[in-house]
Amino acid sequence: MTTQERLRFIDACAEIGAIAESNNLYTFGLSDCIANTGKSFEELTVRELVILHQDYKKLFNFIYS
């Protein structure tokens, strides 16, 4: 694994870890986004989950900020 790949791996882990630190309103909304994919969260790739999280975070912050 290259240094760049390691950094992307750490970034992805941090993004996913941030979900656990979010409030219930956020996690319920993100869960709905995941359900709308037609996949269970276990079926999502890391990339898919990170993109869903990033996209929903933008929407959530726009609505609730």
- What confidence tens digit (pLDDT) does each residue in 18-43 have? 999 999 999 999 999 999 999 999 99
The parent domain of residue 49 ranges over 3-64
Cα 32 to Cα 21: distance, rounded to the nearest angstrom: 18
Cα 26 to Cα 61: distance, rounded to the nearest angstrom: 10
What's the CA dihedral at 58, 59, 61, 65 to 10 degrees?
A: 140
Domain count within the chain: 1
Collapsing DSSP states into helix, strand and coil, what is residue 54? helix
- Which pLDDT score, from 0 to 100, does residue 55 have? 98
Collapsing DSSP states into helix, strand and coil, what is residue 39? coil
Mean pLDDT of the chain, nearest integer = 97
